[in-house]
Structure 1
């Protein structure tokens, strides 16, 4: 199942019960996220979503991606959609 969200896009693999992240903002990536990783990221961002300065996440622990407060909220919505795909 494909997801083209506001911040992330990728494909959910029902057979392996995991999400293959293909893009974050305008950066192309190839990362697999399991349900626990997704929930950890979601709860971390939810806890910090009121941060006026936004937040920085990294891809591959090397490439920083700055998220504004609005983008954090959009990403949280995208993550909720992905979370609903897990069974």
Structure 2
């Protein structure tokens, strides 16, 4: 559920605030017990994003399950990346 919520919020922020023409959403399994969610756009970010309700809720959701969330802004675009642990069957 955390992956879904991060993806939706990140893409919503891109749609509302980016002046870019392209956005990508990527889901990766970099290890047997982790999921990486990355949303990136080609907008022109000249300053870091302000931490509004959406960004705070993404951070809270990810931290509640022991994951990490990073947001990077550059003049070439912004990237939201969540590294999430997956439950393993045992």
RCO comparison, higher one (Cα < 8 Å, 6+)? 2
TM-score, length of structure 2 as denominator length: 0.30
Larger radius of gyration: 2
TM-score, length of structure 1 as denominator length: 0.31
